[in-house]
Amino acid sequence: DLKLTDVGKVYGGTVEVLKEIDLDIKAGELIVFVGPSGCGKSTLLRMIAGLERITGGTLEIDGQVVNDVPPAQRGIAMVFQSYALYPHMTVRDNMSFALQIAKKSKEEIAASVERAAKMLQLEPYLDRLPKALSGGQRQRVAIGRAIVRDPKVFLFDEPLSNLDAALRVATRIEIAQLKEALPDRTMIYVTHDQVEAMTLADRIVVLANKGIAQVGSPLELYETPNSEFVAQFIGSPA
């Protein structure tokens, strides 16, 4: 489980972007963060990943406070909007890299990469360089790099926003399948896309004004938004 208690973020000692964030995320849940641009969605993900310091409150993973635990030891993998693949490495090597750093055996690496490639239908492309892939295939490699590390928690920061509409739908379906294939893993997914939020989420967290405006299932937020802001964001009928 992932537990945030009174979490806040102040950049550079003066700019408060988040405050009093309380959130309890169960293993196996897929949580979607939505909210206006600049409201702190990426900041929150980066704090959970350990890429950004938490300036107030506590973050616990499975009951342990991890505020000062380095990213590599948190059991978390993050997938970004821009795929950030290594351009000079094949798909296989891109997906193997983190495991090589972690000094896993050749056999273990090969097995993990095969398994992830199969899950993401990347088997035909393992020996290609990223430049010979489509945008959707590249994003699947980025997701594959996260899967091979076998994280407890997956963080996705607008992973599909660079894809065209058709690819977005196809890749969204793959992410839904990934959740089914890895039912005990927690996923947090940031998106601006209402359809993605409504179709993927177990629960949606609406962020606004430095805090959480509302948390609930897609249906709850749609049927009983607690503010005009949430209603507009979720697209409830007026």
Residue ranges binding ligand ATP (CB under 6 A): 11-12, 15, 17, 35, 37-43
CA atoms within 13 Å, Cβ hemisphere of 205: 24
Closer to ligand ATP by CB, 46 or 185: give it.
46
CB atoms under 10 Å from CB of 124, counted, come to 10
Binder of Mg ion out of 9, 18, 42, 95 (CB under 5 A): 42
The torsion angle over the Cα atoms of residues 14, 17, 21 and 24, rounded to 10 degrees, is -130
Closer to ligand ATP by CB, 38 or 63: give it.
38
Site residues for Mg ion, 144-163, by CB under 5 A, read: none
Closest distance of CB 9 from Mg ion, Å: 13
Question: What end-to-end distance do the CA atoms of the chain give, in Å?
Answer: 36
Closest distance of CB 155 from Mg ion, Å: 12
Closer to ligand ATP by CB, 109 or 187: give it.
187
Q: What's the CA gap between 151 and 25, in Å, rounded? A: 15
Question: Which residues have C-beta within 8 Å of that of residue 8, sequence separation ≥ 6?
Answer: 16, 18, 19, 20, 21, 54, 55, 56, 57
Total H helices, total E strands in the chain: 8, 10
Annotate each residue in 103-122 with x if it binds Mg ion (CB under 5 A) or - if it does not, as one string.
--------------------
Closest distance of CB 110 from ligand ATP, Å: 36
Closest distance of CB 192 from ligand ATP, Å: 6
Site membership for Mg ion, residue 191 (CB under 5 A): no
- 40 binding partner (options Mg ion, ligand ATP, none; Cβ < 5 to 8 Å by kind): ligand ATP
Chain Cα centroid distance, residue 227? 26
Contact 144, 182 (CB under 8 A): no
Closest distance of CB 74 from ligand ATP, Å: 19
Q: What's the CA gap between 229 and 137, in Å, rounded? A: 36
State the residues that interact with Mg ion by CB under 5 A.
42
